[in-house]
Amino acid sequence: MSISHKQSVQPLFQPITLNQLILSNRIVMAPMTRSFSPNGVPGADVAAYYRRRAENGVGLIVTEGTVIDHPAATGDPNIPNFHGEAALNGWAHVVKEVHKAGGKIVPQLWHVGITRRTRSEPNLDAPSISPSGIDLMGEKAGEPMTEAEIADIIKAFAEGAANAKRLGFDGVELHGAHGYLIDQFFWEKTNRRTDRYGGDLVARTRFAVEIIEACRQAVGPDFPIILRFSQWKVGSYDAKLAKTPEELAQFLAPLVEAGVDIFDCSTRRFWEPEFPGSELNLAGWTKKLTGKPTITVGSVGLESEPSHPKDEHEMVDELVERLARDEFDLAAIGRAILADPAWAVKIRDGRDNELVRYTSDRLTTLF
Ligand code: FNR
């Protein structure tokens, strides 16, 4: 790689301070479920996995989705919990290791709500839950959540946020994307409630708003709260919560008001314009409409594809140009960093001939 390319990636390596979150560069490790935590307890191998990324130039790690204290929050016993002494001790060790390596880390707090997995493989006593007893395919599945269940889950998110602070994490991310529980409230297909948690797009933010408010209450004014949201859902890639910038503004306003510091705007391809007539992507629009810092994500560093026939240099260059234009503040990288813990430093130093490419067999180990 040429010197000019090395210089051109520099904006990705500029430090940034986002209130209390002081980051050495703009590279975020995207949250990725790994299922290497037997009985929900993250062990030394999980700590080493995150530490390797911190040592190798990742500015901020967002952990895999980790489950809040509610019996229906996941159906997979190898996904880490974010409750109970053993799991929390495991997380404390993860934080210690990442900090020793000079990194920053936030947990991604997760409740899956109703999914095919929780429906078809219920290995928990409690039934899976959802806003309206309707699954992501639009089919009837169980009963709508009661107000008491809603209150329990809000409390469990807030306890998770309090524990994140107590364990020394650098902030907390709430998983409000991809068709999981919070997103099931956002989406009209799965939220048909007629109480205050349902209705128009703004009313459907109510559940998230109460979670964010409760988390804010639990962690105080200075602890960073990141919200991940997406238009797309598992199994419905073309789903849209907001069809226009005006609708996106309406959707985001109550979330900002409730106390979100940073929006993690999940898209599958960062270069895709969110709305016709502008090149801005979801993170670009979200920053423009709210004035809040945003994280972009989606296929950075992966092999080029027909919809984007560019090589990796050109793709990273496009990311950097958008970053330098202030379209967004941070860039999350998922599979490329899963495959190669040293992705960030190799990109920084122009050693991309040494990059280990993502293939799905990388999912079978925790290296
Ligand atoms: C993910 N993704 C994801 N997202 C999330 O919010 N919470 C999660 O737990 C997971 N789990 C997960 C596991 C695996 C194996 C993959 C590949 C992805 C989505 C991820 O954070 C990211 O948004 C996408 O992978 C797109 O980024 P890349 O991989 O194209 O850089």
- CATH number of the domain bearing residue 277: 3.20.20.70
**Residue 88 belongs to what domain range?**
3-364
- Centre a 10 Å sphere on the Cβ of residue 120 and count the other Cβ atoms it contains: 9
> What total number of domains does the chain contain?
1
166 CA to centre of ligand 1 in angstroms? 26
The residue contributing the CA closest to ligand 1 atom 26 is: 298
Burial class (CB in 10 A: 0-12, 13-18, 19+), 243: exposed
Q: What is the pLDDT of residue 119?
A: 44
User: ipTM of this predicted complex?
Assistant: 1.00
331 CA to centre of ligand 1 in angstroms? 13
- Centre a 10 Å sphere on the Cβ of residue 121 and count the other Cβ atoms it contains: 11
**Ligand 1 within 6 A of 299 CB?**
yes
- Which of 210, 186, 198 minimizes the C-alpha distance to 258? 210
**Ligand 1 within 6 A of 65 CB?**
yes
Angle between helices 206-219 and 147-166 (to 10 degrees): 40
For the question of residue 49 being annotated catalytic, the response is no
Q: What is the pLDDT of residue 193?
A: 98
Ligand 1 atom nearest the C-alpha of 332 is: 31
Q: What is the pLDDT of residue 314?
A: 83
pLDDT in tens, the chain (367 residues): 454 566 689 999 999 999 899 999 999 999 999 999 999 999 999 999 999 999 999 999 999 999 999 988 887 899 999 999 999 999 999 999 999 999 999 999 999 998 755 444 444 445 689 999 999 989 898 899 999 999 999 999 999 999 999 999 999 999 999 999 999 999 999 999 999 999 999 999 999 999 999 999 999 999 999 999 999 999 899 999 999 999 999 999 999 999 999 999 999 999 999 999 999 999 999 999 999 999 999 999 887 777 777 777 788 999 999 999 999 999 999 999 999 999 999 999 999 899 999 999 999 999 9
